[in-house]
Structure formats: structure tokens, C-alpha cells
Structure 1
Amino acid sequence: MRKNTVGTAVTLCAAALLTAGLGTASAAPATSPAAAHGAQAQRQPRQPVLVDCAFQPQARPDAFILACGDGNSRLASLHWQHWDGRTAVARGVNLVNDCKPYCAAGKFHSYPVVVRLAHPEPWKKRPQVRQFTQLSLTFTGARPAGYDRVVTLPLWS
């Protein structure tokens, strides 16, 4: 009989713990409107974003790939001096592969640039988020052969 008493006691304790756990979860307070708004604001940035090659929104990234297909042109060491609802400006370097004798065997060269982002528009993937749609590079020193001092590129969406 003692065996049944212990088994019953264990079963009752387990049931009590389960009930207490469920009661606590269901009694948890609902998220306050302010907290919900804060979480929503984190998911939906007010300021425009830069959309990367993996279609992820980025704000003030320290690096950014310009040539998504092969990675032969990318920005690095970006230091953002300005980022608002209309424009963004950073200094950094453009790393460009010379592709000599071919890209897989080529060498990357570093060129100092000023990066400007402009023309924010609703992002097609998430219309509630605005993305910069234009990127301009101003080469402040040497530049790759064939490049103008200022290069302006449309950004993907």
C-alpha cells in the first residue's frame, strides 16, 4: 500500500507543477501597447535602410558588397558620418578585383571613397520599410582603370 501512496503523491505533485506552470503562463500580463510599439519600431526602422545581397536590411553597415554575383567590388571600413531619412554619407574603401589574368586569380586593390546613399523609396519586399535606391562613390584618390571620379549606381530592391 505504501507503494501506491508514493506513486499517488508523485502524480499529484507533477499535476500541481504542471497546473502552476500553465497558470503562470496564461496569467502573464499582455504586452503593453508601448512595448509592442517599441518592438514594432525595431522591426520597422523609421530611417531608410541599405538592402544587402541576401536581401537583408542594413543600417550603417561597416561593409557592403556592390557586385553580388561575384563579390569583385565591395565596400569596407565604412564610417558613417550622416544617416537620416533622406541621405547617408560614409567614408571607407572600395575593394576592387583587377581580374588579371582572370577574376579568380586577380588581386584586390583598395581605393578610398566617400559613399553617398540617396532616394529612399518603399522596399518592394517590405513596403513599410524604406530603402535607399541610389549609391554614389566619390574616389578621393586613385581609382580603378576606367572608373570616373564619381560613380552612381542604382541599388536593387
Structure 2
Amino acid sequence: MRNHTLTKAVVLGAAASLAAVMGTASAAPATAPSAAHTAPRQSGRPVVVDCFWQPQVRPGAFVIACGDGNSLLSSVHWSQWGSRSAVGEAVNMVNDCKPYCAAGRFHSYPVTVRLDHPQPWKKRPQLEHYTRMTLTYTDGRPDGFGRVVTYPLWD
């Protein structure tokens, strides 16, 4: 009986630790961006605001679902970052949440990413930020997703 209780405690502790790490990871980019990609450029080009309310220019990774981390972009390669839009190629990592999200598996889907509709950022009005992200799935897509999906970006 004691071994069962000890095993149960170890499993619950491991699960709690994993949940804490996943919670932190879900709010953080999958890879640490270099300093050149985190600081907004002085050229007046828009930024994209990450889950920590930090302005990013050409991030190599981006969490789409800040609340639960079940959708993120990785391996982002930007071909354009302009005053009206930004375009790049990436991999959208999406949790299938089967049978539920904590037990789900992440699947990779190549996408074209477009950021647009720049507006002054409420937190720092001197900076413009992109307010919309459009993903176009180029080879497969998650169940229930259209070929093109558009998300509003936070302010």
C-alpha cells in the first residue's frame, strides 16, 4: 500500500512539474530569438507583439495560442517585412487534443504566413504593430481547419 501511495505521489509530482513547464513553454517562443530579432528596428516598420507583450521583428518562432500553447509557428523564414505587410514560410505546430489537450500530440503543417493591417500599438503608440495573421496551409491541415485561417493579433 505504501509503495502505491509513493508511486502515486511521484507520478502526480511529475505531472505537475510537466504542466508547469508546459505552461511556461506555451507562453514562450519555441526558440530563443537573437537580440537582432527582438528589438524593433528604427526604420518605422511594424512589429508583431508576442505573448509577453514584447515587440518582435522577424521572429523565428511565434506562439499563436498564448493561453494554452496548442498552436505555434516554428522555423519561420521571412521573405518580406514591410510597412504594410510581412510574408514568410513556417511550420504550424498544432496539438490534436486527443483524447484531451494535455494528452494530445503536436502535428506539423507547412504554412505561408502573412501579417498585415498595421496599427499604432496601444502600449507604445510610437510603434505600429501588425493586427492580423493569415496562415495558408500548403500541405495538409489540422482537422476542421480551412485551407486559409485568419487570426486577429492582440494589442
- TM class by smaller structure: 0.7 to 0.9
The DSSP-based 3-state class of the residue aligned with 1:131 is strand
What percent of counterpart residues are identical?
Answer: 64
- Judge conservation of contact 1:45–1:129 (CA < 8 Å) in 2: no
- Judge conservation of contact 1:114–1:138 (CA < 8 Å) in 2: yes
Runs of 4+ in 1 over 4 A off after TM superposition: 41-45
Matched with 1:82 is 80
Cα 1:80–1:43 change in 2 (3 A) is closer
- Structure 1 residues 18-97: aligned runs within 5 Å: 46-97=44-95
Matched letter for residue 123 of structure 1: W
1:144 is aligned, of 142, 145, 150, to 142
Cα 1:83–1:42 change in 2 (3 A) is closer
Q: TM-score, normalised by structure 2?
A: 0.73
Q: Does 1:112 align with 2:110?
A: yes
Cα 1:45–1:72 change in 2 (3 A) is farther
How many residues get paired?
117
Structure with greater Cα Rg: 1
- Judge conservation of contact 2:40–2:57 (CA < 8 Å) in 1: no
Cα 1:127–1:108 change in 2 (3 A) is same
- Judge conservation of contact 2:91–2:110 (CA < 8 Å) in 1: yes
Q: TM-score, normalised by structure 1?
A: 0.72
Q: Measure how far apart 1:46 and its partner are.
A: 1.0
Structure 1: segments with no counterpart, 5+ residues: 1-40
Q: Does 1:134 align with 2:100?
A: no
The DSSP-based 3-state class of the residue aligned with 1:104 is helix
